[in-house]
Amino acid sequence: MRVLALILLLTADSAFSGEFVVFHSGATMHVDRHEIDGAKVRLFNGEGSIELAASEVLRFEEEQAGPQPASSVPVPRLPAEPPAADRPRSPAELADAAADRYGLDRKLVRLVMAAESGFQPQAISPKGAIGLMQLMPTTAQSLGVDPHDPAQNVDAGARQLRALVIKYGGGLRHVLAAYNAGEGAVDKYRGIPPFPETIEYITRIEREYLKSGN
Would residue 11 count as lying in a domain? no
For residues 155 and 145, is the Cβ–Cβ distance under 8 A?
yes
Would residue 174 count as lying in a domain? yes
Report pLDDT for 8.
29
Report pLDDT for 174.
95
Would residue 131 count as lying in a domain? yes
Report pLDDT for 71.
43
pLDDT in tens, 16-61: 457 887 876 666 777 788 888 888 888 787 666 677 778 878 888 8
Helix (H, G, I), strand (E, B) or coil at 167: helix
Total domains in the fold of the chain: 1
Report pLDDT for 5.
33
Give how far Cα 103 sits from Cα of 12, 54, 100, 175, 182, Å. Answer: 27, 36, 5, 15, 22
Residue 80: CB atoms within 10 Å: 17
pLDDT < 70 stretches in the chain: 1-17, 24-27, 46-49, 64-88, 212-214
Question: What's the rounded Cα separation, in Å, for the pair 164 and 171?
Answer: 9
Would residue 195 count as lying in a domain? yes
Question: What's the rounded Cα separation, in Å, for the pair 56 and 110?
Answer: 27
Give the CATH number for residue 105: 1.10.530.10
Would residue 9 count as lying in a domain? no
Would residue 168 count as lying in a domain? yes
Report pLDDT for 57.
81
Number of H helices, E strands in the chain: 7, 6
Would residue 96 count as lying in a domain? yes
Would residue 143 count as lying in a domain? yes
Q: Which domain holds residue 143?
A: 69-214
Residue 175: CB atoms within 10 Å: 29
Catalytic positions, written as ranges: 116
Report pLDDT for 129.
95
DSSP 2-50: ---BS------SS--SSEEEEETTS-EEEESEEEEETTEEEEEETTEEE
Report pLDDT for 58.
82
Phi, psi at residue 66, to the nearest 5°?
110, 135
Give how far Cα 171 sits from Cα of 84, 147, 166, Å. Answer: 34, 27, 9
pTM for this entry: 0.63
